[in-house]
Amino acid sequence: MEFICSACGKRESVRTRKAHCDCGGLWKLDYEPPKFDTEKIDRSEWSMFRYRAFMALDDDASWRGISLGEGMTPIVRLDENVLLKMDYFMPTLSFKDRGAAVLVSHCRAIGVDSVVQDSSGNAGNSVAAYCAKAGIACEIFVPEGTSPKKIDSIRAHGAVCTVVPGGRDHCAEVCREKVERQGLYYANHVYNPFFYEGTKTYIYEVFEQLGRIPAHLVIPVGNGTLFLGAIKGLEHLLRSGCIEKMPQIIALQAETCDPLLRAAAQGLAEPAELTPRPTIAEGIAIGKPMRGREILEYAYKYGVRFVHAPEDRILDARAALARRGIYCEHTTAANYAAYLAYCETYGPTPDCLITMCGAGLKSDH
């Protein structure tokens, strides 16, 4: 298997330790899965690796060695219009386990013994847990103000957790500087294409569970790892003739940090420049999404609608869900707050699937 540089087209073996191409461009994976067919799902495997016939994996041993039973999350009906995909029913309580399982499996396959990663907390939790299972040393950089529970569990997995003063984008810069300076392996959810091989299983799972894809999908977008994975999965289902058209994707961003929403409103090819202001939705506080150009290309191609999660309604949305038995973290409550705001603008929105991608105990502070 090979990576292709998204900027200059250079090819490189996936065994490379380079976080990106020499020209600075991010890698894409040159991999075309076979036609999607539910007959090829391994129903004896009770994890998202049951879809491995359609996933770029280096071998058959590495994922078996690191799997923690990720995926297979239920879909629960909230009301007549809304279905919730309970993606916090995961080994480390967030959807990032989908991506981290494949990424760390790749690290194991190519013999990486030490990694670094930056995160708002959840991706770091996931990478730390899978590295613990794989016996890979790990350092996670998080920005100051990260939920203490996320930091505690990163450390519980034996990873070093370095808290960086300043915002989320600065934290990423500090980590990347260390990657460049010391030539470390960057097990990062945004840069490493293997992560998306995991997040795309979100779509395969929904299709297997419901036998269809709902008309509307609500997806949070910070760096867009679920968004890009979902697009990959949906394009695959389209090409395979399993679905006839793309669902309406409702992509949400924080009111105080919305570079993609602003760009889309003006038809720009690159994310808008801005200085993020604080949000309680810490997981989507990304001012400089590194795959922003790619996200916007898909957004224009598939008529994605961006919407704000109104900052002053996130806690109300969290409480409303909790009173119906769903206890999610602040960032995830933003998904529901954004859905309610979307309905106010576009009218009733039936057959809508919202991801519940982070657990309430994560931001219980």
Ligand X SMILES: Cc1ncc(COP(=O)(O)O)c(C=O)c1O
Contacts to ligand X by CB under 6 A? 94, 120, 122-123, 220-226, 283-284, 286, 329, 331-332, 357-358
Q: Which parts of this chain interact with Zn ion (CB under 5 A)?
A: 5, 7-8, 10, 21, 23, 25
Whose Cβ is closer to ligand X: residue 84's or residue 109's? Answer: 84
Q: Which does 357 bind (CB under 5 to 8 A by kind): Zn ion, ligand X, none?
A: ligand X
Quick one: what does residue 358 bind among ligand X, Zn ion, none, with the CB cut-off 5 to 8 Å set by partner type? ligand X
Closer to ligand X by Cβ: residue 58 or 311: 311
Rounded least distance, CB 227 to ligand X, Å? 6
Q: Could you give the CA distance from residue 342 to residue 169 in angstroms, rounded to a whole number?
A: 28
CA 296 – CA 269 distance, rounded (Å): 6
Which residues are registered as beta bridge partners of 95?
none
Q: How far is the CB of 342 from ligand X (least distance, A)?
A: 17
Rounded least distance, CB 96 to ligand X, Å? 6
Contact call for residues 71 and 48 (beta carbons, < 8 A): yes
CB of residue 6 vs Zn ion: minimum separation in angstroms?
8
Q: What are the residues whose beta carbons fall under 8 Å from the beta carbon of 106, sequence distance 6 or more?
A: 14, 57, 58, 62, 192, 194
State which residue, 186 or 306, has the beta carbon closest to Zn ion.
186
Task: Indicate which of Zn ion, ligand X, none lies near residue 7 (CB less than 5 to 8 Å, by partner kind).
Answer: Zn ion
User: What is the Cα–Cα distance from 253 to 221, expressed in whole angstroms?
Assistant: 6
Name which of ligand X, Zn ion, none residue 123 binds, using a CB cut-off of 5 to 8 Å depending on partner kind.
ligand X
* Contact between 338 and 250 (Cβ < 8 Å): yes
Residue 8 binds which entry of Zn ion, ligand X, none, CB below 5-8 Å type-dependent: Zn ion
User: Which of the choices ligand X, Zn ion, none does residue 332 contact, using the CB cut-off of 5 to 8 A by kind?
Assistant: ligand X
Closer residue to Zn ion in complex, CB, 1/72? 1
Of 109 and 314, CB closest to ligand X: 314
Cβ distance to ligand X smaller for residue 226 or 299: 226
